Amino acid sequence: MSNKTSTLAKAALSAALALSAFGVVAAAAARWRSATAEELRRVIPARAPVIKENIETEFRTASGVTDGRGRFIAGVVMITAGYSAEGKYSHYFVTQAPLKVGGFDLPAGQYVFGYERTGDETIRVRFYRASTGEQVGEADAVKNHRSNAVRSLLISPPAGGKSTIQIGRFLLDYRVNG
């Protein structure tokens, strides 16, 4: 092998290794994981801005995920007693990535949601813009038969772009759209 060919081969190998390493770093950076309590405190307000009210949140119920690049999907139970939201909304939800929840698109933003039981196996979850109270979509969550665990709220990290939000014993499917 000539010197020139050897130099080109080494340069190509170095470039391939660099790109491979970059790909591994980029892939790791894009992996969603559960957010820490400290991270959740940065995105979950102590009082959720809902229409013209600031409703207290119960931080011990907070749950969320992050992509490690500053984007979060997070939520928390609101203490709605005495507020106009009582009976309509129960949770504050923020997403910094566009989602598909059930069958509707949920752009990045701040939302509240509430739910009602529609049968033994399902609840209907309705999402509203936190700033206006305008309904943006609804989806059915199904009873979790794999576990008996009851959670106020549990947002699981997406794997392959899709995941679930657990509300009580029920699972609501979501997918990251970008």
Residue 102 burial (CB count, 10 A): 17
Return d(Cα 169, Cα 144) in angstroms, integer: 6
pTM: 0.81
CA angle 37, 43, 49 (to 5 degrees): 130
C-beta separation of 102 from 137 below 8 A = yes
Contact 6, 41 (CB under 8 A): no
pLDDT < 50: residue spans in the chain: 5, 8-9, 11-13, 15-29
- Residue 36's identity, in one-letter code, is T
Taking a C-beta distance cutoff of 8 angstroms, is the pair 178, 130 a contact? Answer: no
Q: Write down the pLDDT at residue 131.
A: 96
